[in-house]
Chain A
Amino acid sequence: MSATSTEITAGEVQTIVAARRLRNTKTVFIGVGRPSTAALLARMVHNPELILVYESGTIGAKPFHIPLSIGDGELAETADSIVSVPEMFSYWIGAGRIDVAFLGAAQIDRHANLNSTVIGEYANPKTRLPGAGGAPEIAASCGEVIVIAPHAKRTFVEKLDFVTTVGHGDGPGARERLGFRGRGPTAVITDLGVLEPDADSCELMLTQIHPGVEVDKVREETGWELAVAENLKTTEPPTSEELSALRELLDR
């Protein structure tokens, strides 16, 4: 049974779609914000055995509340193992022990490369963003990457102001040439739909659209000429179980 769609926000759909992606995942690497909410929701509804890994070194964290930072006390108190930052990046991320990583970005291009460094010129930026953090190596080495971003023209751009994190580089073969071992971005989940890289061109293509969203709206909010999959799917509306679990989680 699905909940009444009028009550459901685009952000809720985005979070639930991200959580569903983790149904068969063993380990997920997550940052703060919506990715963390989605992973906690997945543990509640879709995959109770899911192992959450935060870059603060907490492996197998089981927080009851959505953490504000990646290093909240509850993560350390509920973790199976806590490791140092050098160990996290060398033995766990670098070695390719994490299946899925959720990443965000201020800008994303058609090959799912990401910018989280600057808007404008590096030496004289219009907006200075936080920077790389763990993203470049996470995207290179985790099994696959799922990007979670708001769908807007200023985010989905023709050309990045700065390549912080390589997704599919300049297209087919780029990741292999750079020596990356993970598959790279397999999906970009937005508040309008889901984009996935085309198997041949590695270019992001609209493959799934959320209920009530028009394809034209997605095109309008994308800064390049967006390809649409022939068999475009419509997102299954959130079930009442998913929705009530998500709302309960946010209320804690």
Chain B
Amino acid sequence: MRTIAGGALAELMPLHDAVAELVGNGDSVALEGFTHLIPFEAGHELIRQGRRELELIRMTPDLLYDQMIGMGVARRLVFSYGGNPGVGGLHRFRDVVENGWPHPVEIEEHSHAGMANRYAAGAARMPCAIMRGYVGTDLMAHTTVAPITCPFTGETLTAVPALRPDVAIVHAQEADRDGNVQLWGIPGVQKEAVLAAARSLVTVERIVDQLELRPGGIVIPEWVISAVSEAPGGSRPSYSLGITDRDNDFYRFWDKMSRDRDQFRAWMEENVLGKGVSKT
């Protein structure tokens, strides 16, 4: 597998093959995208390929991890906000924490600031990040953070451990044929997740001959990416700014439909397992 110093081109490959090559059972996997550019299609491919025992890392689990949790993919969850933004709770996430369905999972939760700092430390290959946060909360006793004293001012700060996922998966608007990736709009922690991980997969709306640099666009060079796969519409029901719109009605629909386990399974069978790019 490619290493950070590898320097080889990112491989353009079908999503099925990229997932098969990059993600193994038991891996820690971060699928990122902060409301925007959530890599749904890649997550669905993980479900279709029957990955198990994954440590799923994501600031905002959103519907994607709700689906993955409910389909039994997760062994452990690392997150900071397990809600359906603007709508309410996530019912499969609630069910696994409250009732252990479909099987119990471990959880490790943080604040957004904590997770963001953990990714940034991972990207910088630092063992930890130092921040102001967590103090006074009950979260402190239930998660992995520690006080640290500033050697210059004596101030007590909080250290959070770096995140170093085995694999990061993000979605972007486009890539060129060498595998250089450009994303624009809300950038979330995608760049940090890719740089923090040992391996990375970027799914894109389209492959273009040449990237046209956009104001505010973020380019991730191909030599820090393991694989790029074309997946048009691959962030739905999230969105890819300028190409697809966020399907807010779907987020509302999910809130109603996903409350019931059987209904959820039936929906996943029809719309995820029975569809998509996975081939035997």
B119 and A86 within 8 A (CB): yes
The interface residues of chain B lying within 8 Å CB-to-CB of A93 are: 113
The interface residues of chain B lying within 8 Å CB-to-CB of A127 are: 94, 98
Q: How many residues of B contact A (CB 8 A)?
A: 54
Does B151 touch A at the CB level, under 8 Å? no
Alpha-carbon separation in the docked complex, A141 to B135 (Å): 12
Q: Which 7 A-B pairs have the closest CB atoms?
A: A71-B35, A130-B83, A69-B85, A133-B81, A32-B86, A166-B136, A89-B113
B131 and A179 within 8 A (CB): no
Alpha-carbon separation in the docked complex, A162 to B139 (Å): 8
Does A11 touch B at the CB level, under 8 Å? no
Given A130-B89, A132-B81, A179-B132, A76 and B185 touching (CB < 8 A)? yes
B116 and A89 within 8 A (CB): yes
B60-76 contacts to A (CB < 8 Å): 60
Instruction: Select the stretch in B16-24, B167-175, B245-253 that faces chain A.
Output: B245-253
Instruction: Select the stretch in A55-63, A187-195, A207-215, A244-252 that faces chain B.
Output: A55-63
Q: What per-residue 1/0 map shows which CB atoms of A144-185 lie under 8 Å from chain B?
A: 000000000000000000111110010000100011100000
Alpha-carbon separation in the docked complex, A169 to B135 (Å): 11
Instruction: Select the stretch in A77-85, A219-227, A234-242 that faces chain B.
Output: A77-85
A140 and B132 within 8 A (CB): yes
Given A69-B251, A134-B111, A136-B111, A85 and B241 touching (CB < 8 A)? no
Alpha-carbon separation in the docked complex, A130 to B111 (Å): 11
A67 and B136 within 8 A (CB): no
Given A86-B116, A136-B139, A165-B137, A76 and B241 touching (CB < 8 A)? yes
Alpha-carbon separation in the docked complex, A125 to B138 (Å): 14
A56 and B188 within 8 A (CB): yes
A82 and B138 within 8 A (CB): no
Does B223 touch A at the CB level, under 8 Å? no
B137 and A131 within 8 A (CB): no
B113 and A82 within 8 A (CB): no
Chain A residues near B (Cβ < 8 Å): 32-33, 55-58, 67-73, 75-77, 82-86, 88-90, 93-94, 117, 122, 125-137, 140-141, 162-166, 169, 174, 178-180
The interface residues of chain B lying within 8 Å CB-to-CB of A90 are: 113, 116-117, 131
A140 and B251 within 8 A (CB): no
Partner of B93, one of A57, A128, A162: A128
Does B125 touch A at the CB level, under 8 Å? no
Interface centre among B136, B138, B245, B248 (most CB of A within 10 A): B136
Which residue from chain A places its CB closest to the CB of B248 in the assembled complex? A68
Does B257 touch A at the CB level, under 8 Å? no
The interface residues of chain B lying within 8 Å CB-to-CB of A83 are: 187
Given A73-B246, A94-B132, A68 and B86 touching (CB < 8 A)? yes
Partner of A128, one of B94, B132, B134: B94
Which residue from chain B places its CB closest to the CB of A137 in the assembled complex? B113
Given A136-B139, A166-B137, A84 and B132 touching (CB < 8 A)? no
